[in-house]
């Protein structure tokens, strides 16, 4: 059974997808209401090498129901979901959410809010 992974950041980059999953992911644009973006400084050398970005976006819950995060809902396998877990640094935690489209998806948000 496949899973959906909602990405609003570096997992949308083809280089990161190929290095993390061995392929380019296919998905559709979607949104997550009730969240907003902040950023986190990445110090993990492997993640820095893959993304080539020192700061990554990070979703956090918002007090404003009109806030939303735009991204992509990628269809991935359960094995690929575990590979995504290895890519994300300890500042993130994976939770299940319902996207604007109605899809249930996994998303990585700030660990401080889990």
Averaged over 81-89, what is the pLDDT? 95
- Label residue 70 by pLDDT band (50, 70, 90): very high
Q: What is the pLDDT, as a whole number, of residue 113?
A: 92
| 25 Cβ contact list (under 8 Å, min separation 6) | 5, 11, 17, 72, 74, 75, 76
Structural domains counted in the chain: 1
The span from the CA of 62 to the CA of 64, in Å, is 5
The span from the CA of 38 to the CA of 82, in Å, is 24
CATH number of the domain that 62 lies in?
Answer: 3.10.490.10
Q: What is the pLDDT, as a whole number, of residue 14?
A: 96
Asked if residue 91 has pLDDT above 90, the reply is yes
Q: What is the pLDDT, as a whole number, of residue 47?
A: 93
Q: Residue 29: give the domain boundaries.
A: 3-113
Q: What is the pLDDT, as a whole number, of residue 10?
A: 95
pLDDT in tens, 2-53: 999 999 999 999 999 999 999 999 999 999 999 999 999 999 999 999 999 9
User: What is the SS3 assignment for the chain?
Assistant: CCEEEEECCHHHCHHHHHHHHCCCCCEEEEEEECEEEEEEECCCHHHHHHHCCCEEEEEEECCCCCCEEEEEEEEECHHHHHHHHHHCCCCEEEEEEECCCCCEEEEEEEHHHC
Confidence (pTM): 0.92
């Amino acid at each position: 059974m496949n899973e959906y992974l909602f990405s609003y950041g570096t997992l949308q980059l083809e280089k990161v997808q190929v290095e993390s999953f061995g392929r380019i992911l296919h998905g559709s644009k979607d949104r997550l209401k009730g969240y907003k973006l902040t950023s986190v400084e990445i110090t993990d050398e492997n993640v820095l090498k893959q993304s080539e970005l020192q700061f990554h976006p990070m979703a956090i819950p918002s007090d404003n129901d009109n806030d939303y995060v735009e991204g992509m809902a990628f269809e991935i396998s359960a094995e690929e979901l575990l590979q995504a877990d290895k890519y994300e640094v300890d500042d993130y935690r994976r939770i299940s959410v319902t996207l604007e489209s109605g899809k249930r998806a996994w998303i990585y948000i700030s660990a401080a809010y889990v």
